Amino acid sequence: MHVSPQKLTNEERAQVLRELPLRKFSQKLADVIAGLNIPRCKDFHQRGGCKRPPGRCHFWHLTDANVARWAGFNFWCEICSKAFTSKEQMLEHEQSKPHCERAGITFSGRLEQKNAGRQPLELAEVVETVAVVETVAVVEVAAVATVGRWSLTGLQPGDEVRMIPYIGMVNFAVQYCYPGYETARLLLQDKPSSHQLTQWTFYWMICASFLQLESTLLALVVEYVPLYLEFKTLCLLWLVHPSYKGALWLWHSKLKDVHHSIDKQLSASVVDALGVLKVVGASTSAEEPRETQQPMPNGAGKTD
């Protein structure tokens, strides 16, 4: 399941922020996360503690360098527990008076900033780079959100979700067991009804045709269709249920007229073909040598 990062709810965002530090760092994924513009939690960073339960806040709690790196801050001061986005900011902080006092070093003022002549990137290059990064890494963001959903339900990715327990056995009973029993019971009757004969004859034709289709063409897509067995069982149940008799309805309302028109067109050709075969068979039989009766010898078959 692919989820757009902009459509994440607050609970899903909190789940992502809670599980991101447990993953191996990926710069592409971190760039996409930065594009969400998730702010830092004011209660946690300015007021000494977050009001929300642990792991339920959907704002950043910059507790260490790993979390800060995911949040887009590549520089971290362990002494002051503060994050910075650039090396210049980090250098400025390290030479500030509060940092020097916490580190126990003498404050000597600020140094001159380096890289003053650095050329900025072109806007077109920035837009193109961001587009490529978002296209590649949006799948990873979706995977993090999906893992959060699975953990809430107690399932694992790859587990099959079924609406009906033991749907395979239910499908087998509906497709083979019940129709087989009804067919055997019909054959044991002295005078079975024409409707029953039509119902089960046409059902087994449908079953055989669908079985062949399922083992060839549908085999390529069956695994990717959700709730396939449930839908198949429902259709088979409609075909065999005594209150519906779907196979009988399909024959009389849809296929009987079609079969009649096709049979009317082809029956003459079939009869002609059979007639030719009959003539050929008769001529072949005429050419075979016939047994001739031999005259009986004198006195044969006579009794005294």
| Each residue's pLDDT tens digit, 3-47 | 555 567 777 777 777 777 888 888 878 777 777 778 878 777 777
When comparing pLDDT for 97 and 117, which is higher? 97
CB 31 within 8 Å of CB 130: yes
pLDDT of residue 295: 56
Q: Report the interhelical angle of 228-240 vs 194-216 (nearest 10°).
A: 160
Q: How far is CA 44 from CA 16, 35, 78, 159, in A?
A: 18, 22, 17, 38
Alpha-carbon dihedral of residues 9, 14, 17, 22, nearest 10 degrees?
-120
pLDDT of residue 53: 81
pLDDT band at 163 (very low <50, low <70, confident <90, very high): confident
- What is the mean pLDDT of the segment spanning 152-158? 47
What is the greatest pairwise CA distance in the chain? 157
State pLDDT tens for residues 224-233.
888 889 999 9
Q: How far is CA 250 from CA 5, 106, 111, in A?
A: 48, 93, 89
Residue 304 predicted with pLDDT over 50: no
Q: What percent of the chain has pLDDT over 70?
A: 70
Q: Which residues contact 277 (CB under 8 A, 6 or more apart)?
A: none
SS3 60: strand
State pLDDT tens for residues 229-288.
999 999 999 999 999 999 999 999 989 989 888 888 888 788 788 776 666 656 665 555
Instruction: Report how far Cα 41 is from the mean position of its chain's Cα atoms.
Output: 38
Could you give the angle at the alpha carbon of 80 between the alpha carbons of 79 and 85, nearest 5°? Answer: 110
pLDDT of residue 283: 62
Residue 171 predicted with pLDDT over 80: yes
> What is the C-alpha separation between 17 and 58, in angstroms, rounded?
7
Report the number of secondary-structure helices (H) and strands (E) in the chain: 13, 2
> What is the C-alpha separation between 143 and 32, in angstroms, rounded?
13
- Burial status of residue 83 (CB atoms within 10 A of its CB: 0-12, 13-18, 19 or more): buried
- What is the mean pLDDT of the segment spanning 169-177? 95
Residue 169 predicted with pLDDT over 70: yes
Query: Rg for the chain (alpha carbons), in Å?
Result: 41
> What is the C-alpha separation between 18 and 57, in angstroms, rounded?
9
